Structure 1
Amino acid sequence: MGPRTRTPSDEVAGSLVEAAVRVIEADGTDALTVRRVAAEAGVSPQGVYNHFHGKQGVVEAVFVRGFDALSAAFAELPREDPREAIVVAAHRYRELAREHPGFYTVMFDRAVPDFAPSEDALAHAGAAFGGLRELVVAAMDAGVLAPGDAVSVAQQLWSALHGAVSLELRGIGFVEDLDAQFDALVASLLRGVAR
């Protein structure tokens, strides 16, 4: 059996998700409507209902795609140096947020009224967290991080990274060099959990 190819239906669904992200990034989540997404994608509003059953389904698809992108960013890391893998993961987290603030807003801010991710969508978020947890386990196994509860350490790292990135996206910062500040934050976090 050859590689799976995208069907026209998959392509339309993908273009609707991309259109939703463009709308969010251009004008915020308040501008996200079925009609606007359909127009941005060049399909009829019925196409949104056919593929996603309405606005909430589109938002969930954006949520899932964002966490899948984060999972992929964590999965593609070089693993020879477990400490460096965590550093690179932190930078990829920041890059995803800076390059795709639309995903980030939907993933973490719950900026769309009445949107609550389904259990399936939350499983995608859990998979992304699982990628970070695997990096922590590898660093603990290599003696780079102190032994302990890998879930707790991964949550501490994610919480700190999320806080820093969220502040940066909102333009709240009091240092000139945000890149150097982020590097310093990651170094401090890893010192805090080092062996």
Structure 2
Amino acid sequence: MSHPPVQPQAAARLLEAEDRQALTTRRLAAEVGVSTMAVYTHFGGMDELVTEVVRESYARLGRALAGVQETADPVTDLMALCRAYRRNALANTSLYATMLGFTPTSDDQRWGAQALQAPLSAIRRCLASGRFRPAEPLLLAHQAWCGVHGLVTLELGGYFFPSSLAEQCFEGLLRDFAVGAGDTVEAAARSLEASRSSRPGPAAAD
């Protein structure tokens, strides 16, 4: 007898609401309307299921970032990648919450490092072009990630009053990061404007 597949986003919604240790195979099976055997058939157990949820989260992020087309302006490209990151998070709220919601495994760290490759490449181009002052590229990539992740986490949690402030804060974050890294205010403003019309990467919703 075949079992319907257990979608990672369904598991992600439960993982977002419950502690990882508290979530059981029986609880998940009841939530998505399958037998416990279906979970074991498709994933082997809860640990494997959690791994698959996180892998799918990073895979969607990777596709979103890969959809950003490179231009002649590396600062615009970096800002466009940050926009793609935010769009993906807003379209996949449960998967995004689980992606960074647990103590990372070696797989999580590897997938996270892979996700950083696109912004890291853009930052290296920013440095090579002279738009950013000399700095460690990986440090700048993590600083950008910290800023965007922090804003997205607050936005998903409903902590902007009113909610329209999220967009204003995001725009300011992109501009101020570039200026703080060494760009001029005028050049950063032009890149920010150009990034608004960047081609969105794919973001399949939860």
Q: Distance in 2 between matches of 1:135 and 1:186?
A: 14
Structure (1 or 2) with the greater helix fraction: 1
Residue number in structure 2 paired with 1:5: none
Q: Distance in 2 between matches of 1:32 and 1:91?
A: 33
> Which is further off, 136-145 or 80-89?
136-145
SS in 1 for 2:116: helix
Matches within 5 A, 1:53-64: 53-64=44-55
Aligned with 2:159 (options 143, 149, 172): 172
> Which is further off, 81-90 or 171-180?
171-180
Q: CA deviation at 1:42?
A: 5.0
SS in 1 for 2:100: helix
* Larger RCO of the pair (alpha carbons < 8 Å, separation 6+): 2
* Cα distance change, pair 147–76 in 1 and its aligned pair in 2 (3 A): farther
Q: CA deviation at 1:72?
A: 1.9
Residue number in structure 2 paired with 1:182: 170
How far does the alpha carbon of each residue in 1:8-63 deviate from its partner, in whole angstroms, 9 at most, with x for none?
99x93xx43133235457xx235854234435555421121123222222121111
Which residue type is aligned with residue 158 of structure 1?
A: W
> Which is further off, 33-42 or 117-126?
33-42
Q: Is residue 65 from structure 1 mapped to residue 52 from structure 2 by the alignment?
A: no
Q: CA deviation at 1:136?
A: 0.9
| TM-score in terms of structure 2 length | 0.74
What is the Cα-based RMSD across aligned positions, in Å?
Answer: 2.5
How far does the alpha carbon of each residue in 1:63-97 deviate from its partner, in whole angstroms, 9 at most, with x for none?
11111211222222121121111111111111122
Aligned with 1:131 (options 110, 113, 118): 118
Residue number in structure 2 paired with 1:147: 134
Q: Is the 8 A contact 1:133 1:154 kept in 2?
A: yes
Number of paired residues? 178
SS in 2 for 1:109: coil
User: Where do 5+ consecutive residues of structure 2 fail to align?
Assistant: 184-206
Q: Is the 8 A contact 1:136 1:153 kept in 2?
A: yes
Residue number in structure 1 paired with 2:78: 86
SS in 2 for 1:88: helix
Residue number in structure 1 paired with 2:93: 101
Q: Is the 8 A contact 2:133 2:181 kept in 1?
A: yes
Q: CA deviation at 1:169?
A: 1.4
Q: Is the 8 A contact 2:9 2:94 kept in 1?
A: no
Which residue type is aligned with residue 143 of structure 2?
A: Q
Q: Is the 8 A contact 1:16 1:37 kept in 2?
A: no
| TM-score in terms of structure 1 length | 0.78
* Cα distance change, pair 33–99 in 1 and its aligned pair in 2 (3 A): farther
Q: Is residue 34 from structure 1 mapped to residue 22 from structure 2 by the alignment?
A: no
Q: Distance in 2 between matches of 1:180 and 1:91?
A: 13
User: Where do 5+ consecutive residues of structure 1 fail to align?
Assistant: 1-7, 111-115
Q: CA deviation at 1:174?
A: 4.4
